[in-house]
Structure 1
């Protein structure tokens, strides 16, 4: 695993929500629904569905390695003080979960933990739409910045975040 992670941050007040809301509107026009785990219900079945979606999307992360077993995923994703189901954005095509963007609240910042879209839906701006939709949760948290972390070979995710206004950062705490 690399130790050269790309650390990025976004000042919440600097985010041009109006510009990126076009991605949210485009998704809706294409029949893609954006919601949260809180809205659909933080149930055992939905946690399992999120796990399967996260596992599938995480397979494309460079050097990711084996994904967590379900019990460990539940502990890591839902068993922490930073977890809030309002921070888990889900993109749906009908009843099918096609994307997720997980953001958690920390002391003084929010953290984009994972954003992923199923392969057949990529290239349509769904990731940007989910992250834009998720800024509502970030604003509820009342924090000044959002942080994210990427493997340096994950160039598409890094480029997407930079296009959204994220800049290189030197923080080391999570």
Structure 2
């Protein structure tokens, strides 16, 4: 694993969602619906589907290593104080889960944290990631924070570029 991660932070008060409305519209026009895990129901079946989607999308993260088992995933990502199903955006093609953008509630530290954004390979290149992140930006407001942070392996250039396009800037935090 690298010891030099790319740390990014977005000032939500300066975020202009209107710049990305086209991505939201293209998703709708293509039959892709964006919703949250809270709206879908945060039950065992939905958590299993979230796990499977996250596992598949995480395989493309450089140096990711083995993904959690389902029980580890629940322990590290769901059964934690920062988890809130309102912060988990799901992209749906009919009933098929094709993308996720999971942001956790770190309001006690003054920010929300985008843990993972991923789209299944067959759906990439359609602006779904940008649409999900734009759709989910309201979660920071629900948390009462004006900053969203994320972190990337330096070889994950596509994700870094997407976040910078949204307005994330390099940050230095411990």
Q: TM-score range by the shorter chain?
A: over 0.9
Unaligned regions of 5+ residues in structure 2, if any? none
1:26 CA displacement = 1.2
1:21 CA displacement = 2.2
Distance in 1 between residues matched to 2:12 and 2:138, nearest whole Å? 10
- Structure 1 residue runs of 4+, over 6 Å off? none
Unaligned regions of 5+ residues in structure 1, if any? none
The residue that corresponds to 1:22 in the other structure is: 22
Provide the TM-score with structure 1 as the length reference. 0.97
The residue that corresponds to 2:81 in the other structure is: 81
Q: When the two structures are aligned, how many residues end up with a matched partner?
A: 172
Provide the TM-score with structure 2 as the length reference. 0.97
Distance in 1 between residues matched to 2:128 and 2:148, nearest whole Å? 19
The residue that corresponds to 1:171 in the other structure is: 173
- Secondary structure of the 1:22 match is helix
How big is the alpha-carbon RMSD for the aligned residues of Structure 1 and Structure 2?
0.6
Mapping 1:1-174, distance limit 5 Å: 1-106=1-106, 107=108, 108-172=110-174
Distance in 2 between residues matched to 1:40 and 1:18, nearest whole Å? 26
- Secondary structure of the 2:60 match is coil
